[in-house]
Structure 1
Amino acid sequence: RRPPNADHLPIMSVIDISAVISDSTPRRNWRMTDWKAFREELSKRLATMPPMDIIRDVETLEAMVEFVQESIMATADQVVPMSTPTPFTKRWWTKELDEAR
């Protein structure tokens, strides 16, 4: 309907401005990692790898890969802090942005 004394029709808009809620599952906070401590711990773990001069078969290769993967995961479990994001966390926000603000 046209409003009284108007020569136009109103435009009705409905805008959903609800906040996007992010997943609050705990995850590794790689940005807060002490990379020097990570490298040191990983070096200690990899130093215990059994010596394998030459990879002669697939089983040996797979064993080495598994050892390296487990070493990296164990190091991450020990050194990399966990973070539980709040429902309105902005993943793109960094410490540098905080300081610049």
Structure 2
Amino acid sequence: MALPAGTPTLEAARSKNLTRPDNVFCSEGLVEALVRCEVVPHLRPPKTDHFPVLSTFSLSVASAKSSKRRNFRAVDWLAFNKTLSEALVAAPLPVVILSVGDLDRALARLNRALDAAVRKDVPLTSLCPFSKRWWSKDLERLRRESKRLGREAHRLRGDPENEVHRRFKAARNRY
């Protein structure tokens, strides 16, 4: 056990007796990293009977390297198509493919053209570990519209026949 024996962790509400129903267990590997484990009664929140247990560990955590990715949502698709067209005109693909080797060469040209267009016209973005990658500008717009109509519907809640209630319900369902 990580908490020293005999340390009270609870003060009974009526009798004010100090008892120890709470224990702190650690695995063998974690006990070696344990710096301190103690009860801190002065940090007890109001209306609670258990004392907080403060545990400190000496652990090293390797920070994740920030990686950059291509942001395909922010692409100027007209410029991308122009770059791709220019690259395909510069290295035309064969009209007829007669062998596996011809197919491999044509595929390599196509991949080079796509890679060049992606490198030129698709911006890089840094990934934040807290970002919601599924979130989009369309969802943001729908959220704003739903919130605005919700405020208006709440303001007109005394008039249930008002058109804003139907529009709010439809906007909320779309969002």
Q: Provide TM-score, normalisation by structure 1.
A: 0.70
Take 2:134 and 2:124, find their aligned partners in 1: how far apart are those partners? Answer: 17
- What CA RMSD, in Å, does the superposition of the two structures yield over aligned residues? 2.9
Larger RCO (CA within 8 A; separation ≥ 6): 1
Alignment check: 8 A CA contact 2:68 2:127 kept: yes
Per the alignment, residue 86 of structure 1 pairs with 128
- Structure 1 residue 95, shift from structure 2 partner: 1.7
Asked if 2 retains the 8 angstrom alpha-carbon contact of 1:46 and 1:68, the reply is yes
Q: Which protein is bigger by CA-based radius of gyration?
A: 2
Identity of aligned residues (%): 34
How far apart, in 2, do the equivalents of 1:29 and 1:90 lie? 14
Alignment coverage as a number of residue pairs:
90
TM-score (norm 2): 0.43
Instruction: Check the 8 A contact 1:27/1:83 in 2, yes or no.
Output: yes
Residue 111 (structure 2) pairs with residue 69 (structure 1): yes
- What is the aligned counterpart of 2:78 among 28, 32, 36? 36
Give, in angstroms, the shift of residue 58 of structure 1.
1.3
Distance 1:67 1:51 in 2: 7
Q: Provide the residue aligned with 2:22 in structure 1.
A: none
In structure 2, the gaps of 5 or more residues are 1-11, 15-63, 145-175
Contact 2:93 2:110 (8 Å CA) reproduced: no
Which runs of 5 or more structure 1 residues have no equivalent in the other structure?
6-21
Deviation at 1:45, TM superposition (A): 0.4
Tell me the CA shift for residue 53 of structure 1. Answer: 3.3
